[in-house]
Amino acid sequence: MRFPALKNQALNLQPWFLTLLAGYAVLELSFNHRLLELAGNLLQTSTAVQLHDIELWGRVVSGLGLALLLMRWLDSFVKSRLVLLVLCFSLGLTSMWHLQKALVDTIVARADQQDLTMSWRSQISTQEALNGRILLRGETVLEGPAPAEIRPVMSALWASSVAGLAPDDLDVRSGAAQLMGGFFAPQIPPDHLSAAYRKTVMTPVVLGASLMFGLLNLCQFFAGLTALVLTVAGHDRLLQRCKSWLLSALIVVCMALSWWPGNAWTTSPAYRQVASPALWADKPYLAPFVEWSVRAEPAWADSVAWVHSALLQDFEFKFPWRHLFGYEDLPAVSGASP
């Protein structure tokens, strides 16, 4: 075993860069779990301030993830590592802050009254969906109660997954839920409807983007760690053989593990034949985030829960400078207790 000088080596062999990647993975996975907790809170105790805090954190987390990817891509073009660090973090944070905000704001601005009503109806029907008591245009969502591994994700993303449908497409089998959405439906103020719809849009956008960047940088960490171990062990020839495809192979495996297994929700007739096609047709900008999130999030649910609890001690992700963005006085998010 030898310990070669790493100062002039590639960025992915630098211990400080690998430390950044590991720290980001912990932050991102913890953030993912916290967002699932807030967005999937069926008791509707999540406040508007908490949801806006997590939305702001989402832009920051995604920006950091993009910055770490940019550092690897631009390393050969920028001689100074300090300049590279400042440049990439500035580009990553600025671009993701504005892109995520613009995407969510644009979708929300285009919403009509049916979108707002559908968002509220679907949010109050989440518990019935988890209990397997909802049909979509006559198609079954679940044969029974949702399995434990998909309940957190389904709680958070049920309203987002049916955003392309109309209120009449929801066939709720529970009499109490029918009354809540029908004759005894409360009059919801317009600003509360808009806040509920923003939550419906924001959740998959922030979840999907942060998880994607998290997984890509986790692959980057393991590829770099493998290369560093081979370098220290003196296996330069083996490193030369695998360095061109190692990262790509890890990304392919990671994406396959995230996408292909499926779950009881994504394989149901209601999702495959009704909800997903309607969302792609009616909300094409939102559909990729929903599709990715409902498939990938369950695959990593246990990991993100452990990281958030064990490593970040259930950090709440409060945004300390929310007053600078006008989020001190916000309307409550509409909803009803199950």
Which secondary structure element, helix H or strand E, spans residue 135, and what is its range?
strand 134-136
Q: pLDDT class for 48, splitting at 50, 70, 90?
A: confident
Question: For residue 154, is it within any domain?
Answer: yes
* Token reading at 157: 């993303």
Q: Is 95 within 8 Å of 64 (Cβ atoms)?
A: no
Q: pLDDT class for 101, splitting at 50, 70, 90?
A: very high
% of the chain at pLDDT higher than 90:
53
Question: For residue 161, is it within any domain?
Answer: yes
pLDDT score of 252:
95
- Could you tell me which residue, 100 or 173, shows the higher pLDDT? 100
Distance of CA 137 to the CA centre of its chain: 28
Pick the range with the lowest mean pLDDT from 26-30, 156-160, 174-178, 251-255.
Answer: 174-178
How far is the C-alpha of 112 from the C-alpha of 87, rounded, in Å? 40
Helix orientation angle between 190-232 and 81-109, rounded to the nearest 10 degrees: 150
Burial pattern 65-93, b for ≥16 Cβ within 10 A else e, equals bbbbebbbeebeeeeeeeebbebbbeebb
pLDDT score of 79:
87
Question: For residue 252, is it within any domain?
Answer: yes
Is 258's pLDDT higher than 50?
A: yes
What domain count does the chain have?
Answer: 1
Question: For residue 330, is it within any domain?
Answer: no
Question: For residue 59, is it within any domain?
Answer: yes
Output phi, psi for 172, to 5 deg: -90, 125
Question: Strand pairing partners for 136?
Answer: 139, 170
Burial pattern 300-338, b for ≥16 Cβ within 10 A else e, equals bbeebbebbeeebeeeebebeeeeeeebeebeebbbbeb
- How many CB atoms neighbour CB 173 within 10 A? 12
Q: Which domain holds residue 273?
A: 11-183+191-325
Q: pLDDT class for 2, splitting at 50, 70, 90?
A: low
Is 63's pLDDT higher than 70?
A: yes
Computed over every residue of the chain, the mean pLDDT equals 85
Beta strands in 175-321 (DSSP E): none
pLDDT score of 183:
41
* Token reading at 230: 């081979």
Q: What is the pLDDT of residues 130-140, one digit of tens each?
A: 998 899 998 98
Beta strands in 74-232 (DSSP E): 134-136, 139-140, 170-172
Output phi, psi for 170, to 5 deg: -85, 120
Is 182's pLDDT higher than 60?
A: no
pLDDT score of 46:
62
pTM for the predicted model, two decimal places: 0.86
How far is the C-alpha of 138 from the C-alpha of 131, rounded, in Å? 16
At residue 319, the 3 state secondary structure works out as coil
CA R_g for the chain: 22
Q: Residue 241 carries which DSSP code?
A: H
* Token reading at 316: 């709440």
Question: For residue 23, is it within any domain?
Answer: yes
Handedness of CA 224, 225, 227, 231 (dihedral sign): positive
Nearest 5°: the CA angle 243, 68, 222 is 40
Q: What is the pLDDT of residues 200-238, one digit of tens each?
A: 999 999 999 999 999 999 999 999 999 989 888 888 888
Question: For residue 332, is it within any domain?
Answer: no
* Token reading at 155: 């709680």
Is 124's pLDDT higher than 70?
A: yes
Question: For residue 1, is it within any domain?
Answer: no
Q: What is the DSSP string of 96-122?
A: HHHHHHHHHHHHHHT--HHHHHHHHHH
Give the β-pairing of 170-172 and 139-140: unpaired
Strand order across the beta sheet in which 170-172 lies: 139-140, 134-136, 170-172
Largest CA distance in the chain: 76
Is 256's pLDDT higher than 70?
A: yes
